[in-house]
Structure 1
Amino acid sequence: MASAQVPALNIPPNGLTRNGMVVLSGGSAANNLVDIFKTLIEGKKLNLSYVIPISDNGGSSSELIRVFGGPGIGDVRSRLVRLIPDDDDINSQTAAIRAFISHRLPDDPLAAKLEWLDIVEARHETWHHIPSSKKELIRSFLNLMNLEIVKRARPSSVFNFSSASIGNMFLTGARLFSGSFESAIYLLSTICSVPSTISVLPAINTNFSHHISVGLKDGTVITGQNAISHPSVPTALSQTPWSPISEIEAHDSIEDANLPGSLPSLRKQNIAFSKSDEEELPARIDRLWYINPYGQEIRVAANPKVLDAVDASRCIIYSIGSLYTSIIPSIVLRGVGEAIANQNIRYKILILNSTIDRETGPCSDPYSATDFIAAISKAAHESRGLSSPPTLDDYKTYVTHLIHLEGDGTPKVDKAELAGLGIQTLRVYGRKTELGKPARYDEKGLLQALEATIGNAEVRGDRSRRNTLEM
């Protein structure tokens, strides 16, 4: 008698069961969705991994990178702080730690330095209500940072404390002490009481800086995340990955903490940025790549833990945020595209931005939903080392579902076109906003859409509610 066939188990090659959800995101935009993702994994009993790029080189992070090297840590710190459990008691330990890690020094460099010394010497009011066990642990790494800052000081190059984030200073101190960015994240996660079912994973696990460049359709090259996404005024559209040798030599003649060959445009103190009144790009972004300190393109491998998380996931979510500086820097890394392409991952959900920004313009030629998916597919294809561009039939390999808003300023969604590509769409009715303000996702509506998409709930149709869904 023939033996009965045993159905194959849905187990990834590394032996992990598919009990995870991976969210690819940047910092501030996706922070607004943290509670939604937390509720979603609790209902599905999943582990959650946030994958965050480390290419941010703007604001106070630029000063840490200039003096100490290392990855851009601002978005990682931002997510860890957002994951601190809520507590209604404003005098609680968790509230005090959240306020302390979130604290920024004043804009004025002298006032910032004086306040930093107050913090290091435990005189500052932000230490109130933090238990002594955690206080002295945190302070030890801040003292180490202070020592390292003094050691690196030169008459021509001193550390600028202006607007420095205390959380960023702590993470850098912990990384320098342990020699491990991963260990620094673990330590801050423990101090912040981040739930054990949630991980914050840097896209690249490194102690070194990794910068990005983009090429526009008109041949323009822009170097550095800040110049791509939120440039200071005037914008640096004329940058190329190669700077004049004389300019490099002028910088290298001064002894400081910069790596030899580092591009001068990436060495500046406190690279400024603005999220308003940004100059439009003259053409669409064509592709993104990583560069070495000399500006040459390199193919960088992803953090192995990111690949493990994707291998163990049943759902991947491309969150709202800057397409080319928050999402694609993680996708284009070696290994990520292949992991995402796994057909055993049933749900690959793009939560479409509610507006067009600098990276998905210009206004004369704004991205549609299909263009967002095409950019993700192209980055994943490049990650896999495939020389030919993705075909329309490839899109569903990387994106299976699209959740979107509809209204003035939102990217155009052609449901018939996407259906023909094998991609399901789900419209969410967002929050009402002031006239002229961009639409925003309603938390209940977005949660309902995600639950309906991954099988937690049916689409329910009270058409009068603002969180109504429409297939």
Structure 2
Amino acid sequence: MDSTIKPRGIVVFSGGSAANNLVDVFKSVRENKKCPLSYVIPISDNGGSSSELIRVFGGPGIGDVRSRLVRLIPSDPDHDDSEKSAIKTFFNHRLPKDRVLAKQEWFAIVEAEHPLWEHISSAKKELIRSFLNLVNFEIAKRKRPSSTFNFEAASIGNLFLTGARLFSGSFESAIYLLSSICSVPSHTSVLPAINTNFTHHISAGLANGTIITGQNSISHPTTPSLPTQTLQPHEPPSTATMNSQPTADDEPEDANPPGTHPTLRAPAISFSKTTSALPARINRIWYINPYGAEIRLTANPRVISALLNADAVVYSIGSLYTSIVPSLILKGVGDALRDEKIRYKILILNAVNDRETGAGSDAPYSAMDFVGAVVKAANESRGVEGGVGREEWREYVTHIVHLVGEGTPVVEREELAGLGIECVRVYGRRVEGEEYVRYDERALVQALEVVMGGVDPRLVKSRRNTLEN
């Protein structure tokens, strides 16, 4: 075998916080396979501190990209690297939830008077400060009665990434800069699903005809009342009636461009991930332009390249419709996923159902529902209308890794086996104070290595009931 041939890589589709818990798992699998690892992250998030940056500056939702880059800062248990630890703490830091205190702390940071700068070298400190000061200048320049920037709960890492993007005019250049500062290894890439300097929002169509606009409203709305469009039978979305009232954010001096969808103008800094069930199942997800009309967008060329050079694709844990599907529906992704050179297409099933997949409803998602949603999204990427037969599902999912235990989604093992989809059962661990089981890192690494052919399942040495293939 030619030693110069580059090994085919692993591509992970994921969102932010949930999949961050599995970074060490994917790192271990990558090390064992000695191959590149790419994370594909959506840029449609419009909640939390990202919502304020989008409201004032526009641009993509950057929070999940930032959190993954910072999570990838390498750690060496045998070596005390205080600067790497300080950088991780710095970029993960959030300002106070009190608006006045948040602004005071922000000024202490940009003026280099904050304890967060301790243990960060002078060269890196001044480089980071230069982009934070640029953001501070741009905030002052854009200040209007209706668009004063709110520093409440703002992420310092998000502010830095915004400053780098504004300076370079390139989102990927900003990612490269933050990757360099965080010492992210060259064999691991964080790829935004869309390479853009613009804001791209999503909408969800429910089975009862309701349309919910904006990722935050779909996944964890700020208020109990959903900003929705209610469709009459056979009525196209663009002519639907919007249940929203004018707010101060509709003032002409606001930073929003003309035509920005009304439900996307209001701030969404505070939200709760513990929310009520949706009134009906999500039927599909699509991107919208500033006027609310559906548009089809092309995936980041680097994402397509990573897929065409992959040996394995992993659909990670997280919100199915707001973390995974927004990347799958982009043009080019569906065709790339069907490449026969991708030998393993692995869906890691969530430990529990959430708001998007029927938590609290009479029809929570099963494994078949999760696979069906992935297949439907990938085919929408290809422009295929009406879906495909189940006999083609294996084109997109070859394996399911799942937990067992109370509250976990039902897995139709025999039915999936009939479709050529193999199920690998992993016994998880319980965390005190939580009602559901979590994936055990060691068990999940073993399961993925078994799936990818690196380990004979008969030789796996694990504790009793850790892995069943």
Residue 360 to residue 461, structure 1, CA distance change in 2 (3 Å): farther
Mapped contact 2:213–2:228 kept (Cα < 8 A): no
2:234 matched residue in structure 1? none
Q: 1:236 aligns with which of 226, 246, 249?
A: 226
Q: 1:416 aligns with which of 414, 417, 424?
A: 414
1:225 matched residue in structure 2? 215
Q: CA offset at residue 231 of structure 1?
A: 1.1
Find the aligned partners of 1:69 and 1:86 in 2 and give their Cα distance: 34
| Superposed CA offset, 1:124-172 (max 9, x none) | 0100000011000000000000000000001232000000000000000
Q: Secondary structure at the match of 2:404?
A: coil
Q: CA offset at residue 348 of structure 1?
A: 0.2
Residues 1:183 and 2:167 aligned together: no
Counterpart residue type for residue 345 of structure 1: I
1:46 matched residue in structure 2? 35
Q: CA offset at residue 248 of structure 1?
A: 6.7
Mapped contact 1:24–1:327 kept (Cα < 8 A): yes
Residue 464 to residue 77, structure 1, CA distance change in 2 (3 Å): closer
Residues 1:143 and 2:141 aligned together: no
Mapped contact 1:433–1:439 kept (Cα < 8 A): yes
Residues 1:328 and 2:346 aligned together: no
Q: CA offset at residue 232 of structure 1?
A: 1.8
1:382-401 matched pairs, under 5 angstroms: 382-401=380-399
Find the aligned partners of 1:249 and 1:273 in 2 and give their Cα distance: 19
2:263 matched residue in structure 1? 265
Q: 2:124 aligns with which of 131, 134, 138?
A: 134
Q: Secondary structure at the match of 2:287?
A: strand
Q: 1:92 aligns with which of 67, 82, 86?
A: 82
Mapped contact 1:152–1:256 kept (Cα < 8 A): no
Residues 1:368 and 2:361 aligned together: no
Q: CA offset at residue 394 of structure 1?
A: 1.5
Counterpart residue type for residue 164 of structure 2: A
- Consecutive unaligned residues of structure 1, counting only runs of 5 or more, are 1-8, 10-15
Residue 304 to residue 108, structure 1, CA distance change in 2 (3 Å): same
Counterpart residue type for residue 425 of structure 1: C
How many residues are matched?
457
Mapped contact 2:394–2:420 kept (Cα < 8 A): yes
Mapped contact 2:299–2:331 kept (Cα < 8 A): yes
Counterpart residue type for residue 84 of structure 1: I
1:107-126 matched pairs, under 5 angstroms: 107-126=97-116
Residues 1:69 and 2:58 aligned together: yes
1:380 matched residue in structure 2? 378
Residues 1:19 and 2:17 aligned together: no
| Superposed CA offset, 1:23-50 (max 9, x none) | 0000001001101111111111110000
1:418-457 matched pairs, under 5 angstroms: 418-434=416-432, 437-457=435-455
Q: CA offset at residue 390 of structure 1?
A: 1.7
Greater shift, 232-241 or 293-302, is seen at 232-241
Find the aligned partners of 1:248 and 1:308 in 2 and give their Cα distance: 44
Aligned-pair identity in percent equals 63
Residues 1:308 and 2:297 aligned together: no
Q: Secondary structure at the match of 2:18?
A: helix
Mapped contact 1:461–1:469 kept (Cα < 8 A): no
2:290 matched residue in structure 1? 293
Q: 1:196 aligns with which of 179, 186, 194?
A: 186
Mapped contact 2:60–2:200 kept (Cα < 8 A): yes
Q: How large is the Cα RMSD of the aligned pairs?
A: 2.1
Mapped contact 1:91–1:129 kept (Cα < 8 A): no
Q: 2:315 aligns with which of 293, 313, 318?
A: 318
Mapped contact 1:231–1:272 kept (Cα < 8 A): no
Residue 425 to residue 260, structure 1, CA distance change in 2 (3 Å): same
1:348 matched residue in structure 2? 345
2:71 matched residue in structure 1? 82
Counterpart residue type for residue 375 of structure 1: A
Deviating above 6 A after TM superposition, structure 1's stretches of 4 or more consecutive aligned residues are: 461-464
Q: CA offset at residue 463 of structure 1?
A: 9.9
2:155 matched residue in structure 1? 165
Find the aligned partners of 2:243 and 2:285 in 1 and give their Cα distance: 24
Q: Secondary structure at the match of 2:430?
A: coil
